[in-house]
Amino acid sequence: MNNAELIVQVLRSAGISRGFGVPSGNVLPLMDAMRSGGVDFVLTAHEGSAGFAADVTARLSGRPGLCIATLGPGATNLTTGVGDAWLDRSPLLAITCTLNEAQLGRRIQMWIDHHTLFKPITKASVRLQRGRIVATLNEAIALAMTEPVGPVHLDLPEDVAVAPVSEPVPAADNQPPGGAAMAQANAVAIIQAESILRAARRPVALIGANAMRMHSPQQLRAFMERHHLPFATTTMAKGLIDEDHPLSLGCIERARRKLQRAFLARADLIVGLGYDTIEVEYEAWVGSVPVLNIDIERADVDTSVQVTLELTGELDASLERLAACPPCGNDWTDEEITAQKVAFQASLRPQANGFTPHAAIDTVRRVLPREGILSFDVGAHTHQIASQWTAHSPRTFLITNGWSSMGFGLPAAIAAKLQHPELPVVCVIGDGCFQMTCGEVAVLKRHRLAVPVVVLDDRWLSLIKVKQERRSLQHYGTELQVEAYREPPAHYFGVPAVGVRDVATLEAALRQALSAAGPTIIEAVIDPAHYSETVYD
């Protein structure tokens, strides 16, 4: 056995079944070990996509994602996806396969200091060395899985990869290392939190991204129902409680944000539940309303935010104890909560004569089964989808909101369908995002993944166009297409492409695509005019 084969054995024992990447000669020893060792190598069109796909695999599997790249430009490309796991908080192993040990640090083609490169966006960056492969990997996995979870970078010299194993080989069925157990919140703080909640007459709960990693997200629902708390979510936390729930207010700080802010301003207490300020800082919207922050860590807040108590510790345990407290009455009525939800959703769908983004999004929601998974990308459509879409289950709504990088949607869909082949998956992306990552449709085709890719084609980088309008700037550098629209080509890389111009043809195309033997590109030509009205108001 060589060290590359030992690495694969440890990865497999840790519950890692696939890795994403782009090869080079330096990567070949690890790739061949993956081939023979039962860890799939998924070739992506770009290393950044490999990082995004590894991030999403971690979100859906509960085990570290794996992405692989060569040295130099492969490593720099990979950092885009690794940064996503860093700010959006996903456990991930990023392996860069590099030069032989004796060549490291020399002025040699492609070599750069990988550890300096990855240091700002990982929990650690270490070199794999002979005799310490198992220990280093186990430490990296445990660190990645320790809250707050995140990526760890491993640098693998080629001569180390091919060298014979020089350490004891663990049993193939050894238990995967886990993260360090989180401390539970102090019992006195639990009593204080209950007292604060009981004194409030109009409390509103805000669920954030850290709650996505709860072992029992049903504790959230139990807590809301016990205390009759109206609740909203950040973008990434959608679906942790079915948004059809009568206490649900929807998403904050996306499209029509002012309408949600007006309702939250009527509260006398904001209860943050796993509220990671990486998505949106409290001071952006909370105003003078005091905050009870219940999370795995202390909140990063401006001095203007009135934090009455930080209940810090293992989130499942904190909510289980608070859900067991006697019900705390408040003055919210069901009619008020329902009226807010209805008004918010109506405002997202202004009247228009053309084929609007909101009509296209509603069509996708209508066709995709409740248990289906949506992945989407970053742009004006992100704001609209986040506010408009009704998410019914945890981990069915995939987006980056901490890193907020274009290019996420397609690799996220690939990872989701590979992880859950039994579930329908739809990807919705803007035309700018499609131009950035269209090569990844070949990955869908290669793996015969029946994923409809709905491209919302509006000719512009619409989010930046709206920002230019808000600042009274001229439109410049944001137009993607000047000529008139034509029908899309018959295929992209052998993937069938169809054009739709209205709701009926989009719905028909989606239904057909979900039952196809592979992916389908659906170009939905939309009129983006209402983005200027809904995105930031």
**Would you list the DSSP string of 192-229?**
HHHHHHHH-SSEEEEE-GGGGG-S-THHHHHHHHHHT-
Q: Which of 48-52, 71-75, 420-424, 468-472 has the lowest mean pLDDT?
A: 468-472
Asked, for residue 171, whether it belongs to a domain, the answer is no
- Return the structure tokens found at 221: 């629902």
Q: Domain end: 338, 362, 380, which one?
A: 338
Q: Domain end: 306, 338, 370, which one?
A: 338
Q: Which of 60-64, 83-87, 138-142, 492-496 has the lowest mean pLDDT?
A: 492-496
Element of type H or E holding 521: strand 520-525
What is the reported pLDDT for 4? 98
Report how many domains make up the chain.
3
Starting at the edge strand found earlier in the chain, the sheet holding 92-98 runs 40-43, 18-21, 65-70, 92-98, 151-157, 125-127
Asked, for residue 173, whether it belongs to a domain, the answer is no
Asked, for residue 178, whether it belongs to a domain, the answer is no
- Return the structure tokens found at 85: 């796991």
Q: How far apart are CA 299 and CA 85, in angstroms?
A: 19
Q: How far apart are CA 481 and CA 491, in angstroms?
A: 19
Element of type H or E holding 70: strand 65-70
Decide: 292 and 318 in contact? Cβ < 8 Å: no
Residues 33 and 138 in one domain: yes
Asked, for residue 132, whether it belongs to a domain, the answer is yes
pLDDT beyond 80 at 483: no
Q: Domain end: 338, 360, 379, which one?
A: 338
Place of tokens 């440890």: 10
Asked, for residue 180, whether it belongs to a domain, the answer is no
pLDDT beyond 80 at 471: yes
Residues 146 and 295 in one domain: no
Q: How far apart are CA 473 and CA 25, in angstroms?
A: 48
Residues 366 and 322 in one domain: no
- Return the structure tokens found at 513: 């695509």
Instruction: Give tens-digit pLDDT for 328-375.
Output: 989 999 999 999 999 999 999 999 989 999 999 999 999 999 999 999
Instruction: Compute the C-alpha angle 273/60/378, nearest 5°.
Output: 75
Q: Which of 118-122, 162-166, 319-323, 431-435 has the lowest mean pLDDT?
A: 431-435
- Residue 440's domain comprises 348-534
- Name residue 491's beta-bridge partners: 496
Residues 356 and 301 in one domain: no
Residues 229 and 265 in one domain: yes
CA separation, residue 475 to residues 254, 380, 435 (Å): 23, 15, 20
Q: How far apart are CA 349 and CA 213, in angstroms?
A: 32
Q: How far apart are CA 117 and CA 76, in angstroms?
A: 8
What is the reported pLDDT for 421? 98
pLDDT beyond 80 at 52: yes
Decide: 266 and 202 in contact? Cβ < 8 Å: yes
CATH number of the domain within which 77 lies? 3.40.50.970
Mean pLDDT estimate for the chain: 95
Residues 136 and 228 in one domain: no
Element of type H or E holding 125: strand 125-127
What is the reported pLDDT for 487? 78
CA atoms within 13 A on the CB side of 490: 1
The 10 Å Cβ neighbour count of residue 353 is 7
- Return the structure tokens found at 210: 């850290």
At 171, the pLDDT band (50, 70, 90 cuts) reads confident
Residues 246 and 151 in one domain: no
Q: Which residue has the higher pLDDT, 376 or 531?
A: 376
Asked, for residue 172, whether it belongs to a domain, the answer is no
Could you give phi then psi for residue 512, rounded to 5 degrees?
-70, -40
Q: How far apart are CA 272 and CA 312, in angstroms?
A: 11
Residues 310 and 392 in one domain: no
What is the reported pLDDT for 360? 97
Decide: 208 and 293 in contact? Cβ < 8 Å: no
Asked, for residue 169, whether it belongs to a domain, the answer is no
- Return the structure tokens found at 138: 């186990």
116-148 burial code (b ≥16 CB/10 A, e <16): ebbeebbbbbbbbeeeebbebbbebbbbbbbbb
At 172, the pLDDT band (50, 70, 90 cuts) reads confident
Percentage of the chain with pLDDT > 70?
100
Residues 193 and 136 in one domain: no
Place of tokens 């129902």: 225
DSSP 342-374: HHHHHHTS---SS--HHHHHHHHHHHS-TT-EE
Instruction: Give tens-digit pLDDT for 495-525.
Output: 999 999 999 999 999 999 999 999 999 999 9
Instruction: Give tens-digit pLDDT for 65-75.
Output: 999 999 999 99
CATH number of the domain within which 304 lies? 3.40.50.1220
- Identify each DSSP E strand in 266-322 by its residue range: 269-273, 291-295, 307-312
Helix and strand element counts for the chain (H, E): 20, 19
At 492, the pLDDT band (50, 70, 90 cuts) reads confident
Decide: 182 and 144 in contact? Cβ < 8 Å: no
DSSP structural state of residue 276:
-
Asked, for residue 177, whether it belongs to a domain, the answer is no
Residues 11 and 142 in one domain: yes
First to last CA, the chain: 61
What is the reported pLDDT for 126? 98
The 10 Å Cβ neighbour count of residue 63 is 19
Residues 223 and 110 in one domain: no
Instruction: Give tens-digit pLDDT for 440-451.
Output: 999 999 999 999
Residues 311 and 194 in one domain: yes
